[in-house]
Each structure stands twice: as C-alpha cells, then as structure tokens.
A and B are shown apart, each in its own frame.
Chain A
Amino acid sequence: MTAMIDTLTIARRDLVRTARMPEQLTFSVILGIFFLLLFYYVFGGVIASGSGVDYLQFLVPGVLVITVVNGAQQTGSGLALDLSTGVVDRFRSLPMSQIAVIAGRTVADTLRNAVGALLVVVVAYLMGYRFDSLVGAVGMVALVVGLGYAFSWVGAWIGAVIRNAETVGLLSMFWLFPLMLASSAFVPTAGMHEFVRLFAEVQPISVVSDAARALAAGEAAESPLLASIAWIVGLSVVFAWLAGRAYRRV
C-alpha cells in the first residue's frame, strides 16, 4: 500500500518535472509522428510498388512500437540524472518504498508514452490509416503502451547501472538501433538475411508489432498476443528485479 502511494507520489513529481522541460516533452511526444512521416514518405513508395502491401496499414503499428520503446529510454536517462544529482540520497534516507523511486518514473514515462502513441494514431488516421474496430484499436494501443512500460524497466536498469544521463543516451544507439531495424516494425522479415531473420522473428519489437497489426486488422491474434504478453511480463519482472538491485548498490 505504502509502495503504491509512494510510486504515485514519485510519478506525480516526475510528471511535474516533465512539464517543466517543454523542449524535452515536445520532442519525445512528436518523435513518433516524425518516425511515421519519415518512414512512410521515404520507404512507402518502394515497398508498395514492390510487394503490393498497403504500407500505411503495415507501418502504423510498427511505428507505435518504435515510438514507445524509444520514449522508454528516458526512464534510464532520468533515473541516471537523479542518481547523479544527489536527490536520490535524500530519497534513500526517507521512510518510503525505495523501488517506488524507479516504479514512479516508469509510470510517469508510460503516461507520456501513451500520449505520444495516441498522437501517432491521430496523425495516421488523418493520413488514411484505418483499423478494423475500435476494440481492436484500443487493444493495439494498450498492448504497445504495455511494451513501452516493460522497456521503461530496461531503461531503468541501464540508468541505475550507468548513472550518467548522456552515456545512457549514447549507449541506446548501440542496442536500440539493431533491435528496431532487425524487426518487423518497418518491413516484413521475409526479405532479411537468414541470420538476421531468425533473430528478428522472435524479438519483442517484432512480436508486439505483429500482434498489434493483427489486433488492428481484426485478425486472429491469439498466438502473437500471448507471446507479446509473455515478453511484456517477462521483461518487466526481470528488469524490475535487476533495476532494483542496481539502484540499491550505493
């Protein structure tokens, strides 16, 4: 109970902070729209003429996933910033749940991520994107935001280990880029090199992108949905444990 209240207190604090850093908030929220426009207008023509796929229908769920996974990295840089400024020393001396310092941040970042994802959906709709049903659309966004929550814990772990906001940002290039590109987020995995394809088909960004597509299109989604939920729960549990451990290390 105390842990829940402390988590909400910290989430509130992180949201107030976010609102006070308008540049950062704006960039993180419009990043998804930027991805959507860039990928659609650069690759859309080639892919549509080559495969006959309606690229906008294919792209939007993938862009949503990429948006939240990127946004979740701010959990890491934010936590690293807290750890380097000393405010965490005060938190440690307070009679509060210590994991709440991280959990609150994952909640705040997930809310911000949800706003970013909704903006992508709105812009995509204006561009002509359509989903099969409202239930499917809500399910898609919820699933994607869930993955963002799981990746917030990954980011938290990196932030708690590295403890330097700039290094956290730089490092994300090296693991996030391969994870984003070697996936079914932007293009189908069929054309990828054998070695890359094997990885691309099982990793969480692809699994959740595929499940999100199936939900939006009103197709049978049971198997990718279960795999997605397994990834979300698995990543959250493992990285919450790792992040908590790294955070407690003084």
Chain B
Amino acid sequence: MSTTATTRITEPGPVIEAVAVTKRYGDKVAVDGLSFAVGKGSVLAVLGPNGAGKTTTIKLLTTLLALDGGRASVAGHDVSREPDAVRRNIGLAGQSAAVDEKLTVRQNLDLFGRLYHLPGPARRARVDELIDRFGMREYANRLAETLSGGERRRLDLVAALIADPPAVFLDEPTTGLDPRGRLAIWDEIRAMRDAGTAVVLTTQYLEEADQLADHILIIDRGAIVASGSSTELKARLQRDVLEITVADPGSTEAAMEALAPGTALATDERTIHLSVAAAGDSLAALRRVDEAGVELADFQLRRPTLDDVFIEITGEPVSAAANDDEVTA
C-alpha cells in the first residue's frame, strides 16, 4: 500500500501513459501504436466500434495482456516490468471484469478488499463507505445474481474503487444498460473524476464520450483516427449539418438526386444529413429539393455532433461499423 501513497504524492505528470502501445495476433494488428496520457482527475474516452481494439487496449494497460510493442505505465510503474506495482494502483470494471454472483454485494466488496490486502478495520470501513456513497445500502446483503443489470454494473464499478486506486479503467461501463442506469453510472464516473481519479473508459456511445471525457480518442482497427476534446473534434467539422426530412419515405431518393451527388453525410429512411458551409448553401439545397417536387416534412440546421465527426473520419456511422463487426466476429 505504501507504493500507492508515495506515488500519489511524489509523481508529477500523467497517471496513465501509453506510448506507441501495440498488440498483434498473428498477422492481425489489434492495437496499432496507441499513445495517450491521462492526468489526475481527468477522463479519457476511447471511442470506436466493436472490434476496434478498445478492450484489448484496456487489457494491455491493466496487465491482463502482454505488450508486443511500445510501453505503458500507470502511476509511474511500467506495465511490463512492474505488473504487481501497476495492479496495486488500478481498478478495473466493465465488460471484461465481473463480480461473484454467489456472494452478496457486501461480500463481493469485502473479497476484493481482501485481495488488495486492505487490513480488516480499514477494509470494513471502506466497504461501508462505498455502499453508502453509491446508494447500495438497500441491496447490500443481496446476492449479486439477484441484482438488476444496472445494480450489478454499479457493484462492478464500485468494486474497482475498493482500494481507492489512482487509476481506473472502465470497459464499456454502460453497454446494455437502460437510459436511467446509464445516467446513474455517468454520475458515478463524474464523482470518481472529481475525487482525483484518472479514468480511462471505452465506449461505443458518442454521447457518453461527449458527456464525460476531457479527451477523446476515436479508434478504428486498432489505430487512432482522431483525438482531441469534444469541442476540438466537433470543430474539425467547421460546417454545420442540415437535416432534411421528407414527407414521403419514397421520395428520399428523388431528394438525394436533386442534391449534388456525394454531399450527404448520412441518410436514413426519411432524413438526409447534409454538411453545409454557409446559410446560402442551406437555402440552395432546400430550393433544389423543392424544385424537384419533393414535399418536405421538416428541416433543421444544427452544430455537428460527435456522430457526424465519426462519420466524417471513418466514412461510416458508429452503429453501422459495430454491426458489421458483430456479423463477422
């Protein structure tokens, strides 16, 4: 435990650092030279579709997988050379972590506290503190297998905090949760960050990265395709987005033809997303659609979202890329 304490006081610079981290499986490069740094009290979101290398990245930084290239450190300890010291300084939760379904909430937290070698009285106090802080009092003595998806995910997240580690890794912490559960987890991640924890989280949800992260990495096929703050990434799309919704789904194609080919960012059944530079462009686009005799249901001009950024950079929406991967996986 002394390592944790001294590290936190004396170590300047980033808590989590990755330099050209690489992982190969045979010919396939799963993680291709990722570099990033996360400071105290900040959140890094790694955003990308399934199969982009998000979970592998987490496993490399949490000593679950060996690096094939580059280096990484947590709290000043190299993940390859000092895995034990790294493990004393991290908490892991989410997709690749889990809890024991045959133990109660309290017993799970106590088990992980014991395995971090927290002494008895401190451990019991810490378990109580976390149960209160994260509103788990009413189901503290229930078996994990009887919890709802959201409650279970919360336990998983809290288990990562038992030793109050300076660095926490969350692998898709809200995947599969309902909107209410997602908001609750977001609050908890913000609370961690405010308490000074360096957080790396992976997500498929642009909104999640937008809401939580100080810095976002967009990765695709193991490599960074864009990085920056949410604002910076959105600024990459200087242009606004015009959404044109047609009245009849059958006329979507006619509207697309009326617009210059290849100008649409994305299209769904009735709505065309168009990147426009100035108000004049919007007006011209609307006029062309109108002249083609297409009846409009609605149109709106808006600032680009991270979704638009992702489409602009990778050429496909996050969800489409994710679905592709699920089919081939």
Interface positions of A (Cβ within 8 A of B): 2, 5-6, 9, 13, 16-17, 20-21, 85-87, 89-96, 250
Contacts and interface: CB of A to CB of B under 8 A. Distances in A.
B100 A17 contact: yes
Contacts of A6: 115
Given A20-B143, A89-B92, A94-B112, A250 B101 contact: no
Contacts of A89: 64, 92, 96-98
A2 B116 CA distance: 10
Given A93-B62, A93-B87, A94-B116, 20 more contacts: A2-B117, A5-B114, A9-B111, A13-B111, A16-B102, A17-B102, A20-B102, A86-B96, A86-B98, A87-B100, A89-B97, A90-B97, A90-B99, A90-B112, A91-B115, A94-B112, A95-B88, A95-B115, A95-B116, A96-B117
A250 B96 contact: no
Contacts of B100: 13, 17, 87
A134 B23 CA distance: 61
Contacts of B92: 89-90, 93
Nearest to A9: B114
A93 B111 contact: no
Contact of B103 (A17, A90, A91, A93): A17
A202 B98 CA distance: 44
Interface string B50-68: 0000000001001111000
B160 to A, nearest CB: 8
Nearest to A96: B115
17 contacts: A2-B117, A5-B114, A9-B114, A17-B100, A17-B103, A86-B98, A90-B99, A93-B62, A93-B64, A93-B92, A94-B112, A94-B116, A95-B115, A96-B87, A96-B117, A250-B64, A250-B65
Contacts of A87: 97-100
B96 A16 contact: no
B112 A93 contact: no
B90 interface: yes
B229 interface: no
B109 interface: no
Contacts of B88: 95
A85 B117 CA distance: 24
B64 A95 contact: no
A95 B62 CA distance: 11
B131 to A, nearest CB: 18
A214 to B, nearest CB: 41
Given A89-B96, A93-B90, A9 B64 contact: no
Contacts of B143: 20
Contacts of B59: 250
Nearest to B98: A86
Contacts of A95: 84, 87-88, 115-117
A89 B56 CA distance: 13
- Of the listed residues A5, A6, A89, A95, the one surrounded by the most CB atoms of chain B closer than 10 A to its CB is A95
A15 B91 CA distance: 26
A93 B114 contact: no
B267 interface: no
B305 to A, nearest CB: 33
B107 interface: yes
Closest 5 CB pairs of A and B: A86-B98, A95-B87, A93-B92, A95-B88, A17-B102
A96 B118 CA distance: 12
Nearest to A91: B115
A9 B123 CA distance: 14
- Of the listed residues A89, A92, A93, the one surrounded by the most CB atoms of chain B closer than 10 A to its CB is A93
Interface in B59-98: 59, 62-65, 84, 87-88, 90-92, 96-98
B98 to A, nearest CB: 4
Contacts of A85: 98, 101
A9 B65 CA distance: 25
A238 B242 CA distance: 68
Contacts of B62: 93
B159 interface: yes
Contacts of B112: 90, 94
A87 B102 CA distance: 12
Contacts of B63: 92-93
A91 B63 CA distance: 11
Contacts of A16: 102-103, 107
Nearest to B159: A90
A6 B84 CA distance: 14
A89 B169 CA distance: 13
A92 B64 contact: yes
A16 B65 CA distance: 30
Contacts of B84: 95
A62 to B, nearest CB: 34
Contacts of A13: 100, 103, 111
A198 to B, nearest CB: 45
A114 to B, nearest CB: 22
Contacts of B159: 90
Contacts of B64: 89, 92-93, 250
B123 to A, nearest CB: 11
Interface string B103-133: 1000100011011110000000000000000
